[in-house]
Copies of this chain bind each other. A is one copy, B any other.
């Protein structure tokens, strides 16, 4: 049994607490947070601590705090030579204070507090500086997820940027679709099967094979009709830029 403690109480911390509670391989020893109320529904109150000095040594500390707090939190740690991993996609392993052994435990998923996730399906990208520490991370990651990847800090940076494109930006395009529906007395529900199928297609086709639409066909008549339909300047600019990008991409192939 591996003993793990979590620092933080945000989205990622809460989902990790739930995932660790479900596996017999991990003992969740303590959770440190300044906001005890945000995790008190997830674990016994005696496991929640608001004072660093109450933390006890375990096999792995997971720091699940905002990116810019990682350095400060790891520096405030009351231990030396403990194994400490952060959960960020965009922060280097070096951000962790050097008095402890460093690692990264990055679950590549979009977490919202109000939406449960199945951790088994979430890829976890791990990195450590020592072989023994890597094995701890691997065991912990495999106890909650079916897909675990060894990813270095440079690759993780690339992955995080790619994730912004395929998740944050994609969701914003859903938002624009929703806005256009609202402005035209249409239910956004009509678009949901299309959204699902678009995401499902790339499980069996490459994005390039899956591409359809007026830009892919270089159908300038439809493109111009869409541009004159759109009245919002921001929507128009996004339409133009992504259409041009699809057309240019077609020329490269």
Q: Please, which residues of chain B bring their CB within 8 A of the CB of A122?
A: 193
Could you tell me if B203 and A192 are in contact, using CB atoms closer than 8 angstroms? Answer: yes
Task: Give Cα A2 to B193, complex, Å.
Answer: 27
| Known A170-B170, A242-B169: A112·B209 in contact at CB below 8 Å | yes
Could you tell me if B202 and A174 are in contact, using CB atoms closer than 8 angstroms? Answer: yes
Could you tell me if B195 and A180 are in contact, using CB atoms closer than 8 angstroms? Answer: no
Q: What are 10 A-B residue pairs whose CB atoms fall within 8 Å in the complex?
A: A109-B194, A114-B209, A115-B205, A155-B185, A161-B230, A166-B195, A171-B202, A175-B211, A178-B208, A195-B199
Contact with B along A152-170 (1 / 0, CB 8 A): 0011011111111111111
**In the complex, how many residues of chain A place their beta carbon closer than 8 angstroms to a beta carbon of chain B?**
94
Could you tell me if A198 and B166 are in contact, using CB atoms closer than 8 angstroms? Answer: yes
Could you tell me if B168 and A155 are in contact, using CB atoms closer than 8 angstroms? Answer: no
Task: Give Cα A173 to B172, complex, Å.
Answer: 11
**Chain B residue at smallest Cβ distance from A172:** B246
Rounded to whole Å, the gap between the CB of A162 and the closest CB of chain B is: 4
- The segment out of A75-83, A126-134, A231-239 that lies at the interface is A231-239
Could you tell me if B197 and A198 are in contact, using CB atoms closer than 8 angstroms? Answer: no
Task: Give Cα A134 to B128, complex, Å.
Answer: 65
Contact with B along A196-231 (1 / 0, CB 8 A): 111111111111111111111001011001100110
Could you tell me if B178 and A159 are in contact, using CB atoms closer than 8 angstroms? Answer: no
Interchain CB contact (< 8 A) of A170 among B158, B190, B195, B245: B195
Could you tell me if B207 and A178 are in contact, using CB atoms closer than 8 angstroms? Answer: yes
Give 5 nearest A-B pairs by CB, closest first: A168-B213, A199-B199, A158-B184, A175-B207, A166-B177
Q: Is A67 an interface residue (CB 8 A)?
A: yes
Q: Please, which residues of chain B bring their CB within 8 A of the CB of A230?
A: 161
